[in-house]
Structure 1
């Protein structure tokens, strides 16, 4: 039950961060979400990632096993011009690879960079 509540709060933090851009947020499963920004360069994705992180920190969702005692996010970013379905598949793979780079680096990371 606590896990479901946590995921709802994370989803709300993500949603609250997307009001200024054309974007879609989707839960992929487990604790993974996809945020798809339309017509946005990687620099815009970085700005949105920072907004999501700040929104989540303001939510102050408790997590007893983290150093901060709060839920944090690790994020992978990717950017690609999509002109066909294969381009979208490549974009998803690039983002997934970037996410796992971040996860290998620990908590609260983006593409493996901490304290961003």
Structure 2
């Protein structure tokens, strides 16, 4: 499944370095090569990226994955959603920390 977080990370990595191989993306993102392949194909299918062969590459199987205008727009949207979700998670963690601190001060956790 291509979550917002994974889509954000893939689009960001490809925007910064379109020449990353699927194997490099797998290592960078900490996901399996098969999952990277699935995600790349999903992004290609919906037109968020396009694959271009390297013209001067020794490895004729090498591709550059370039964000399309639709991909750039989608990256902005997914980045906003991802940021809002992370901010909500951060606020929840802050509340939890404050509750634990309060319990320690009240002597409830001894």
Whether TM exceeds 0.5 here: the answer is no
| Higher CA-based Rg | 2
- Of structures 1 and 2, the one with the larger relative CO (CA 8 A, separation 6+) is 2
